[in-house]
Structure 1
Amino acid sequence: NTVTAQTRLWFNPGRLESLYIVPGTFAVVLWIFPSLLTAIAMVKEREKGTILQVYASSISAVELLLGKGLAYWLIAVCEAIAVIGLGVFVFQLQFVGNPIPLLIGTCLFLADSILFGLMLGVKAESQAEAVQGASLIGFITSLLLSGFIYPLNNIPFPLSLVPNVVPARYFIDITRDAFVRGTGWTGVWFSLLMLVVLGFFFFTISRKGLDQMQLDTDS
Structure 2
Amino acid sequence: MKRIISQCSKELSQFKRDRLTLALAFLLPLITLFIFGFAIRLEAKNIPLVIQDYDRSPISQRYVAKLFATNQFIFVPWSVNDSVEIALDRAIAKAGIIIPPEFSRRIAAGNIADVQVLVDGTDSNNARVIKNSIKATTNDFMQSEGLIPETNLLTTRSRLWFNPARQESLYIVPGVYAVVLWIFPSLLSAIAMVREKERQTILQVYASSMTSTELILGKGLAYLIVSLGIALVVMGIGAIVFRLSFAGDPTPLLVAIPIYLWASVMFGTMLGTRTTNQNAAVQGVALVGFLTALLLSGFIYPLSNIPFPLSLLPNVIPARYFIEITRDAYVRGTGWIGVWFAELMIFAIGMFFFNVARRVLSKMQLTE
TM-score bracket for this pair, using the shorter chain length: over 0.9
Partner of residue 142, structure 1: 293
**RMSD of Structure 2 on Structure 1 (CA):** 0.9
- Equivalent position SS for 2:222: helix
> Structure 1 residue 203 and structure 2 residue 354: aligned?
yes
Distance of 1:216 and 1:56 partners within structure 2: 11
Partner of residue 49, structure 1: 200
Select which of 62, 77, 80 maps to 2:231. Answer: 80
Distance of 2:293 and 2:213 partners within structure 1: 27
Letter aligned with residue 211 of structure 1: S
Partner of residue 154, structure 1: 305
**1:4-23 → structure 2 map (5 Å cutoff):** 4-23=155-174
Partner of residue 334, structure 2: 183
> Structure 1 residue 194 and structure 2 residue 345: aligned?
yes
Select which of 265, 269, 272 maps to 1:118. Answer: 269
Question: How big is each residue's C-alpha offset from its partner over 1:4-42, in whole Å with a ceiling of 9 and x where there is no partner?
Answer: 221212111111110000000000011111100100000
Distance of 2:253 and 2:217 partners within structure 1: 23
Distance of 1:206 and 1:8 partners within structure 2: 49
Greater relative CO, 1 or 2 (CA 8 Å, sep 6+)? 1
Distance of 2:161 and 2:346 partners within structure 1: 27
Letter aligned with residue 185 of structure 1: W
Shift of 1:3: 4.1
Question: How big is each residue's C-alpha offset from its partner over 1:168-195, in whole Å with a ceiling of 9 and x where there is no partner?
Answer: 0000000000000000000000000001
Letter aligned with residue 340 of structure 2: W
Distance of 2:348 and 2:226 partners within structure 1: 23
> Structure 1 residue 130 and structure 2 residue 281: aligned?
yes
Give me the TM-score of the superposition, normalised by structure 2. 0.58
Partner of residue 219, structure 2: 68
Letter aligned with residue 311 of structure 2: S
Q: Which runs of 5+ in 2 are unaligned?
A: 1-151
Letter aligned with residue 242 of structure 2: F
Partner of residue 92, structure 1: 243
Larger strand share, 1 or 2: 2
Shift of 1:216: 1.3
Give me the TM-score of the superposition, normalised by structure 1. 0.97
Letter aligned with residue 23 of structure 1: P
> Max radius of gyration: which structure?
2
Distance of 1:3 and 1:184 partners within structure 2: 37
Shift of 1:214: 0.8
